[in-house]
Each structure stands twice: as C-alpha cells, then as structure tokens.
Chain A
Amino acid sequence: DADVTQTPRNRITKTGKRIMLECSQTKGHDRMYWYRQDPGLGLRLIYYSFDVKDINKGEISDGYSVSRQAQAKFSLSLESAIPNQTALYFCATSDLMPGLEDTQYFGPGTRLTVL
C-alpha cells in the first residue's frame, strides 16, 4: 500500500549490529503495529501503539524496541541483531472509528537478513 511505506525494503546485516526499520503512513491513522512473518508461522505481533504516547508489547517483543516519533511514524529497532531475527517485517496501521471495525492495513514489508 502506498499509504503505508517501509524503509529499507531489504537489509542484510551482521550479528550484534543495531538495526532500525522505519514505517510511515499517510492514512491519518492513530494505531500502528509491527509484525514479523516467518515461513509457516503466519504473522506475529511485536509491538503496537495506539497513539503517540502509547507503546505496548506484543507477542514477541524480546530483542526489539520501538519509537513512535509522530502519529505518522513508528520505528522498530533491533538493539543487537541475531540470526533468528531474520524474517519479513511488516508495519500496519488502523483507526477505530465509531461504527466501523479496526481493520489493519499493511505496508510492503522489509526483508531483514542477519548473518
């Protein structure tokens, strides 16, 4: 979705390096999420944020941290990358409107390889 962009799209790094993945959205949504996708495991939630001052851990937050710099920006950091963090990472956004569902819309993903 052009409304949700992620940078970089691909990244190869070495064990122990600090990595930051960035997500920006023009949908005007308050809620943002970071997911990880591994083959055969579907998508798993790492962190989520319901507004700029709200940060919450998801199912698999260990080894990750996030920063919500603005309504439109949500960054995911790997403080010290390890090989089993090799995966596809997706950012998603949603907005809970009265009478509507909180449907999540995904970015194109970042493929991260940790050697």
Chain B
Amino acid sequence: GESVGLHLPTLSVQEGDNSIINCAYSNSASDYFIWYKQESGKGPQFIIDIRSNMDKRQGQRVTVLLNKTVKHLSLQIAATQPGDSAVYFCAERAPRGYALNFGKGTSLLVTP
C-alpha cells in the first residue's frame, strides 16, 4: 500500500546549525503535504505546508522543499535552537482526501 516514511529516525545537531529532515512518500497522487512538530507531552503542532504545484515554500526559519520527481519532501530549519528539539512528522493527503497519512517521525535533538 501507499506509505509515508522518513529517512532518519533520529537527528542530532548543534545549536546554531541548520537542520534538514527528510521524508519519502510513495503516493504520486498526493497533492498536499504538511510538516508537524510534536514536543514531549503535547499534540502535533502545524509548522508549514506545501501544495503539489509548488516546489518550495518558506516560513519563519523553516523551508519545505518538494521534489515530485523522486517523491521526496524535506524540512529545513535555519539556525536551529534548543526549542526546536522535538519529533517532526511529515504527512501527505491524496486529492479530495480527508485523512492525513503520517510518517513515523524523526526525533531532532539540538545540543549546545
């Protein structure tokens, strides 16, 4: 079946460095993608989204890149801070779909 997966289950970066979290998806019909951040003891928090007719979208310190050719999604965090430590999930949605298909998550650890 279709799936959303993450290349790395854990990522450790130093404070101030840039972080890149990757996600592979297999449903070529998916038209909408979201990145969520989940801190310990909290629910997933929306970070940034992108539609399939775009290949890049920027937010505050975050950038999402979409490569439909290889079905790859990435989240870039600039100047990573301790408060960025969390689990990051990518999610995809099929056209006219309702449900988000979540990946298993990448744990980002920011060290001083």
Contacts and interface: CB of A to CB of B under 8 A. Distances in A.
A103 B46 contact: yes
Contacts, number: 53
Interface residues of B, number: 21
Contact of B43 (A48, A50, A102, A107): A107
Contact of B102 (A42, A58, A102, A108): A42
B99 A1 contact: no
A41 B98 contact: no
B99 to A, nearest CB: 5
B8 interface: no
Interface of B: 4, 32, 34, 36, 41-46, 49, 51, 89, 93, 98-100, 102-105
15 contacts: A33-B99, A40-B104, A43-B100, A43-B102, A44-B102, A45-B99, A48-B99, A50-B98, A103-B46, A103-B49, A104-B46, A106-B43, A106-B45, A108-B42, A109-B41
